[in-house]
Structure 1
Amino acid sequence: MKEHSPLSTEKIISDLYPKKFGRIGRVWTLFLVIVCLIGAYAYYRQLRYGLVVTSLRDYVSWGIYISNFVFFVAISLVGSLITAILRLANAKWSTPLTRIAEMIAVSAIVFASLIIIVDMGRPERLVYIFTHTRIQSPITWDVVVISTYFVISLLLLYLPLLPDLQILNSHPNRNTGFLNRIYRFLGAFWKGTREQEAINNRSIILLCILIIPVAFTIHTVTSWLFATTYRPGWDSTNFGAYFISGAFLVGGGAVLVAMYLFRKFYGLQNYITYRHFDNMGRVVVMLALLYLYFNVNEYLVPAFKMKKPEEHHLEELFSGKFSLGFWFAIIVGMIIPMFILMFKKGRRPYPAFWAGVMVVVGAWFKRYLIVTPTLLHPFLPMADVPESYLNYFPSWEEWAIAMGSLAGVLLIITLLARVFPIVPMHESITENDAHQEN
């Protein structure tokens, strides 16, 4: 909220109350639904004809699906960054961003789970994870931590929402009948008593403490899915920290993008201010420097030793057929946003938005480059195999499913923003009242 400009409670409620979709909102939602339907049709074709409709083969058995999985898992870390770490650090400026972060986190982790089912080819194989589970398998660890992380993220979205549900339930005339039923179902028990508030606050703090090790675990275990496989480019003890630092960066970039769009289209200039962009920009610069450090570690050490399989893999990344995507991910995804956000003018909303876009797009390419080049460069050279086994480029079905999953994440965020306040109303009112008293 703008400093030295306290607002009335009625003004805050009016500004932050969930708004109906305008023409742009309806077009945007329709566009996302169409992209999701195209992805669903492509998945139907995959179910009917099998994975043969994709470009996945014996060597590249993961491809764009697992790239999307790693990307979604990474971007979901934003919930623990904004909601947990900054809340526990008593960074009051991050309060208007907490719900945005949790909406992104919950949406991303949902589709991270779904894209794994898509990659299995036959969805009923998901049952085998539970009926034939092995504690020695990193996949089992991944299922456990993803499920735990999803539950905690959902609770961190829901519990701070309870006081806002009381406000929403007290204004039934502003809502449709359907929304009133949702608000009553989710928050009818909340009376706002001191006992309830004390229990709720303690629960939120406890969840903030719990989600940090769980978030670190989910990204470490995801990295182990690669690092425990003996292949050039994956045989690294750096992968855990490398994945976590990259996840923090893409999560921070996603928040910058969401801050700008929500601020612009929902008229939240009084609540998501230049100060928030300035502080968040500084956080992203720090995270970009950290991730750049781990990238240097990841590539410099194998380049120095230059074992033969690693040599071919690095040559493909640095100067071969993957070099364009690799240097795009490094320069556009890390270096340019860092230089933009290092300067005060670059931390204003518009340039910060484009810096965030570059971080997110670069991060997706980075995940694609973690998966595909390594699978095309096994220790034993590929010999006597069809030409299609030697290269990989996703089929239209893969692209449609991947884009459909990305659209699905955005659709969930869009619908959540339509149903619930984007900026916490109760906390904004409390901070505004404290500001007036001072």
Structure 2
Amino acid sequence: MSPASAPSPVSREIGVLRAGWGYASITDKIADIVLTRPLRGPWLAAFLATMAGSIAFVCAMGYLFATGVGIWGVNIPVAWGFAIANCVWWIGIGHAGTFISAILLLLRQRWRTSINRFAEAMTLFAASMAGLFPILHLGRPWFFYWIAPYPDRMNVWPQWRSPLVWDFFAIGTYILVSFLFWYLGMLPDLATLRDRAASRFKRIAFGLAALGWRGEARHWARHESAYLLIAGLATPLVVSVHSVVSLDFAIGNTPGYHSTIFPPYFVAGALFSGFAMVLTLAIPLRRAFGLHDFITEVHLDHVGKVLLATSALVAYGYASEAFVAFYSGDEFEIAMTLDRWHGAYAPVYWTMLACNVLAPQVLWWRRARRSAWLLFALSLVINAGMWMERVMIVVQSLHHDFMPSSWGLFVPTFWDWVFLLGSLSTFAWLFLVFIRLLPAISISEMRQLVRESAKEGA
């Protein structure tokens, strides 16, 4: 094959181009999911099931507000339980969306185009779930606004040394910037839906959401400048937000919490679980709506490579944490580490290692990285393993205090599981609503990719 006729790198990654699709075909395929495709049985069944779980979640919150956190299994010495573990897990899942959208955009990685839109939506939904749990964990959650520096003539200001205040600003900033980035990138697509909508209501709704976008040159110039600016602003959040969450633990002197490796360790774990959730959502999405030409095996291969790399970083964190405990000679750190290996929560610890370290080793094989069903199963295993890791950090580190007289076990109650499963149902319900109301893949960026590929081919 001559150099002139060889396929470009973009053509090899985007199946749409290999199929010879043009601008109209791309727009039809993506926009029709929102505008014309009827609601079918599998989507309706998933929608009703997740809506039932969301209603149970709301009812559980009402019961919690009326009764108190005593309905959970938290007690002294384990004053933090599933609620804080769920918070850290959810905020970690949201990191992949920001990484894919912001960092890969700045690095000009074209493979992000097919997955960035729903990954950004995933970030918003996961961060919202994460923000709920610290509020629910408060003894009086209706006073959560006390952690914000609102104008107060009594000068009752937030306690800036409190991790709750750090979480408020970290998660709040993360949600705000992620929403701006997601909404700004969607403006051209909203205008496309406005122009193609058949009903007057949809034209008005999408027209208002598009903010008067007409596709003029000045619109595109300002859009690109603002998009890159917010991407540069969002990039430090990948590191800073989960570093702040890790410092909630690291500032304490509790063995298992007081570790200087926590910030990079938490960031690597967040990307690990976040990319696993991207696969959990992407693979059923491409199957249900026939998006194999957009989310190709090459995209799955790239995400698999990221999972393999972040798994190695997480494994290094596990090893260094155990090494430092023995190398320091601190009898309490050593006792905590041995308790993880042989104590009451040892089955959770070894299952966590199997899920997060052993299982991802299959990704060394290219065929495994391109197998959709294998990746989907592996993503579920990784998500379960990363949730167990958060439970180990939060619960196991607390259940053996410095004095044996203060030891105790955390046993999750029925309501602990209801809140976990309810948050999962609400997250899935929000995602199901999103893919039917808004384009799950960026139409404008995909068309730009076609244009760039045509220029390279020429």
Same fold (TM over 0.5): yes
Query: SS state of the match for residue 20, structure 2?
Result: coil
Q: Is 2:40 the counterpart of 1:22?
A: yes
Q: Say if 1:155 and 1:400 are closer, same or farther in 2 by CA, change over 3 A.
A: same
> What is the aligned counterpart of 1:6 among 11, 20, 34?
20
Pairwise CA distance, 1:68 = 0.4
**Which one-letter code corresponds to 1:148 in the other structure?**
T
Q: Is 2:361 the counterpart of 1:335?
A: no
Give the corresponding residue for 1:379.
402
Gaps of 5+ in 1: 384-388
Query: SS state of the match for residue 62, structure 1?
Result: coil
> What is the aligned counterpart of 1:197 among 214, 220, 226?
220
Q: Is 2:240 the counterpart of 1:217?
A: yes
Give the corresponding residue for 2:282.
259
**Which one-letter code corresponds to 1:342 in the other structure?**
W
> What is the aligned counterpart of 2:146 among 114, 128, 137?
128
> What is the aligned counterpart of 2:409 among 372, 375, 391?
391
Give the corresponding residue for 2:181.
156
Structure 1, residues 341-394: CA drift from partner, whole Å, max 9, x if none?
1111101122222222221111111111110011112223334xxxxx721111
Any conservation in 1 of the 2:187–2:211 contact (CA below 8 Å)? no
Structure 1, residues 161-187: CA drift from partner, whole Å, max 9, x if none?
1111111001121x683x444312210
- What CA distance in whole angstroms lies between the structure 2 residues aligned with 1:200 and 1:46? 44
Any conservation in 2 of the 1:46–1:53 contact (CA below 8 Å)? yes
- What CA distance in whole angstroms lies between the structure 2 residues aligned with 1:126 and 1:377? 30
Pairwise CA distance, 1:135 = 2.6
Give the corresponding residue for 1:427.
445
**Which one-letter code corresponds to 1:164 in the other structure?**
D
- What CA distance in whole angstroms lies between the structure 2 residues aligned with 1:172 and 1:211? 33
**Which one-letter code corresponds to 1:277 in the other structure?**
L
* Superposed counterparts of 1:99-248, under 5 Å: 99-130=117-148, 131-173=156-198, 177=201, 179-248=202-271
Give the corresponding residue for 2:420.
402
Any conservation in 1 of the 2:399–2:408 contact (CA below 8 Å)? yes
Q: Is 2:74 the counterpart of 1:52?
A: no
Any conservation in 2 of the 1:76–1:105 contact (CA below 8 Å)? yes
Structure 1, residues 79-117: CA drift from partner, whole Å, max 9, x if none?
221011111111111111111210111001111111111
Pairwise CA distance, 1:251 = 1.0
Any conservation in 1 of the 2:81–2:395 contact (CA below 8 Å)? yes
Give the corresponding residue for 2:83.
65
Give the corresponding residue for 1:386.
none
Give the corresponding residue for 1:282.
305
- What CA distance in whole angstroms lies between the structure 2 residues aligned with 1:398 and 1:182? 39
Give the corresponding residue for 2:7.
none
Give the corresponding residue for 2:368.
346
- What CA distance in whole angstroms lies between the structure 2 residues aligned with 1:291 and 1:278? 20
Any conservation in 2 of the 1:15–1:267 contact (CA below 8 Å)? no
- What CA distance in whole angstroms lies between the structure 1 residues aligned with 2:87 and 2:334? 27
**Which one-letter code corresponds to 1:205 in the other structure?**
L
User: Which deviates the most, 228-237 or 292-301?
Assistant: 292-301
Pairwise CA distance, 1:301 = 1.1
- What CA distance in whole angstroms lies between the structure 2 residues aligned with 1:312 and 1:374? 10
Any conservation in 2 of the 1:6–1:436 contact (CA below 8 Å)? no
- What CA distance in whole angstroms lies between the structure 2 residues aligned with 1:354 and 1:249? 15
Structure 1, residues 279-327: CA drift from partner, whole Å, max 9, x if none?
1111111111112112211122103445332233222211222111111
Task: Provide the aligned C-alpha RMSD in A.
Answer: 1.7
**Which one-letter code corresponds to 1:344 in the other structure?**
R
Percent same amino acid among aligned pairs? Answer: 25
Any conservation in 1 of the 2:76–2:408 contact (CA below 8 Å)? no
> What is the aligned counterpart of 1:365 among 358, 372, 388?
388
Structure 1, residues 28-62: CA drift from partner, whole Å, max 9, x if none?
01111111222222222222222222211132122
Pairwise CA distance, 1:236 = 0.7
User: Which deviates the most, 95-104 or 123-132?
Assistant: 123-132
Write out the 4+ residue segments of structure 1 that deviate beyond 4 Å after TM superposition. Answer: none
Query: SS state of the match for residue 121, structure 1?
Result: coil
Query: SS state of the match for residue 115, structure 2?
Result: helix
Gaps of 5+ in 2: 1-13, 149-155
Pairwise CA distance, 1:188 = 4.0
**Which one-letter code corresponds to 2:170 in the other structure?**
V
- TM-score under structure 2 normalisation? 0.90
> What is the aligned counterpart of 1:297 among 307, 311, 320?
320
- What CA distance in whole angstroms lies between the structure 2 residues aligned with 1:20 and 1:333? 39
- What CA distance in whole angstroms lies between the structure 2 residues aligned with 1:121 and 1:394? 18
Pairwise CA distance, 1:66 = 0.4
Pairwise CA distance, 1:262 = 0.9
Pairwise CA distance, 1:128 = 1.9
- What CA distance in whole angstroms lies between the structure 1 residues aligned with 2:312 and 2:254? 27
Query: SS state of the match for residue 382, structure 1?
Result: helix
- TM-score under structure 1 normalisation? 0.94
User: Which deviates the most, 152-161 or 3-12?
Assistant: 3-12
Structure 1, residues 114-168: CA drift from partner, whole Å, max 9, x if none?
1111111322230221253123333322211211111110011111111111110
